[in-house]
Structure 1
Amino acid sequence: MEHIDKIKALQAKAGIEADGIVSSKTWLNIHYLLFGSLPYDINIDSIIKSIQKKIKVRIDGYPWHKTWDILYDLLIVKAEKSDVNKSIDLHNEEMLDNLPEEVVPFAKELITLAADHGITIRITNNTKNKFVPKDSNFTGNEGNYSIYNFGLAFDVKILEKSVADEPESDSPHYEKIAKLGESIGLTWTGNKKAYTTATDFVLRPAWAVRMKEVDMVKELCRRKKENINLLAIL
């Protein structure tokens, strides 16, 4: 595969235009895919070096072929193999089918990370999610919406081995699940002092980290109206 095709594949995964042109937008989105967060230093040379350090190649700020090869292998090839090799039970498969496409990779990764730590979780309906009607014009009524109107949240419950097929609402493992979720860019909305009760994760877009809630919702409305990926860094 040509390197430009690998670049296009990475851009497509990030939800931005797959044109093969490596712009600052491309690097910001690759950083987000790799780290689950935006970089503190938005200097492109610094971003490239932090990515190279993460993937353990020569740290020189120049995206030579080895950099693209490893990024493609890590974010595309291995991710696809992980989806095939990691068993996701029927319940979670059905729940994933009903989540927005932007949220699915995060939910899958959380299921996988939990399994790697010997914890089985179930994705459940988030009762706060009230999807915006497809025919909404999103004009002048943004104040009526919240992040939950865009499906950027899901509940999790832990399936204890001692109780066959019955998720537990209270478990000491929720603290671990909360930290695993936050390590991949999700926000745990539960009680961080107790960490024992089932609750939901919210996927706040990286581009909205420094935004007020009302401004974030306006941008989500715009993206929904124009059919733009909700998470892509534009």
Structure 2
Amino acid sequence: MMEYTDKIKALQQKAGIEADGVASSKTWLHIYYLLFSSVPYDINVDSIIKVIQQKINVRADGYPWTKTWDVLYKLLIVESCADDFANFSDPENEKMLAMMSPEARPFAKELIYLSARKGIHIRIIDKTIDSNFGLSFYVGIFEKNKKGELVYVDKSPNYAQVAKLGEFIGLTYDQNSRVFNSFPKFEIVPAWSIRMNEEEVKEELSRRKMQNLKLLAIF
């Protein structure tokens, strides 16, 4: 059986912070961001834990008991993801994933996996993975034609479903940003940027990239 400290480490890895297995206030802040795609206004740790517990439908007492970690792990770290993902392997996606930034890759991979579980085949679109400091990417939905070939689908109600899946794992869906005909864009918005304007965010991302610092980390 997996120890709860290992589950904490897995959640920390997903959040892009040091995976030490310690449920620090920083860890809870990042878990909150994964669930809500925003930072809490009340930064009291007990309050953050209670809000998270309410979100995942466990006893909201502010105490991080085992059940809390079990549910968080189930929601945010898809069990057997690596084995199941192999069933949805697509050479085009494998090529694009290998080229993506380390910050965006796990989000893109999980979005592909979760979409496939819903019967939706998506692909990461070429020539878009380096935009926005590597923190954004575009996807397209592909379906099999009569010959069994995967072809791009321009309009589909499944795009709304993919958007919801992306938001569930902490991505921001930019419905107004469409390139190469109509590929929807997903963005990873750093939690530390919540009170910055666009220019300030770009300056900070540039500084971190030049100094080889983690783009999403909260220092």
Q: 1:126 to 1:210 in 2, by over 3 A?
A: farther
Identity across aligned pairs (percent)?
Answer: 57
* Matched-pair contact (CA < 8 Å) for 1:174–1:198: no
Once the two structures are overlaid, the 10-residue window that deviates more, 196-205 or 211-220, is: 196-205
Q: 1:210 to 1:124 in 2, by over 3 A?
A: same
Higher relative contact order (CA 8 A, sep 6+): 1
- Give the whole-Å Cα distance in 2 for the aligned partners of 1:180 and 1:2: 28
How many angstroms does 1:2 deviate by?
Answer: 5.5
Whether 1:81 and 2:64 are equivalent positions in the alignment is no
Q: 1:209 to 1:125 in 2, by over 3 A?
A: farther
How many residues are aligned here? 211
- Give the whole-Å Cα distance in 1 for the aligned partners of 2:160 and 2:36: 21
Q: 1:98 to 1:31 in 2, by over 3 A?
A: same
- Give the whole-Å Cα distance in 2 for the aligned partners of 1:128 and 1:11: 24
How many angstroms does 1:74 deviate by?
Answer: 4.8
| Cα offsets for 1:24-47 (capped at 9, x unmatched) | 211101222344443354332121
Instruction: Give the root-mean-square deviation of aligned CA atoms.
Output: 2.9
- Give the whole-Å Cα distance in 2 for the aligned partners of 1:111 and 1:100: 16
| Cα offsets for 1:87-126 (capped at 9, x unmatched) | 2312111111111111112212222332233321111124
- Give the whole-Å Cα distance in 2 for the aligned partners of 1:118 and 1:231: 31
Q: 1:44 to 1:108 in 2, by over 3 A?
A: same
* Matched-pair contact (CA < 8 Å) for 1:208–1:216: yes
Once the two structures are overlaid, the 10-residue window that deviates more, 9-18 or 151-160, is: 9-18
Aligned counterpart, 1:228: 213
* Matched-pair contact (CA < 8 Å) for 2:145–2:151: no
Aligned to 1:174, the other structure's residue is in SS state helix
Aligned counterpart, 1:212: 197
- Give the whole-Å Cα distance in 1 for the aligned partners of 2:56 and 2:175: 33
Q: 1:37 to 1:10 in 2, by over 3 A?
A: same
Q: What TM-score does the superposition give when structure 1 sets the normalisation length?
A: 0.74
Aligned counterpart, 1:160: 143
Q: 1:123 to 1:208 in 2, by over 3 A?
A: same
* Matched-pair contact (CA < 8 Å) for 1:170–1:198: no
Letter of the structure 1 residue corresponding to residue 47 of structure 2? S
Once the two structures are overlaid, the 10-residue window that deviates more, 94-103 or 2-11, is: 2-11
Q: 1:204 to 1:26 in 2, by over 3 A?
A: same
- Give the whole-Å Cα distance in 2 for the aligned partners of 1:156 and 1:182: 14
Aligned counterpart, 2:13: 12
Q: What TM-score does the superposition give when structure 2 sets the normalisation length?
A: 0.78
Aligned counterpart, 1:46: 47
Aligned counterpart, 2:172: 187
User: Greater share of strand residues, 1 or 2?
Assistant: 2
Aligned to 1:232, the other structure's residue is in SS state coil
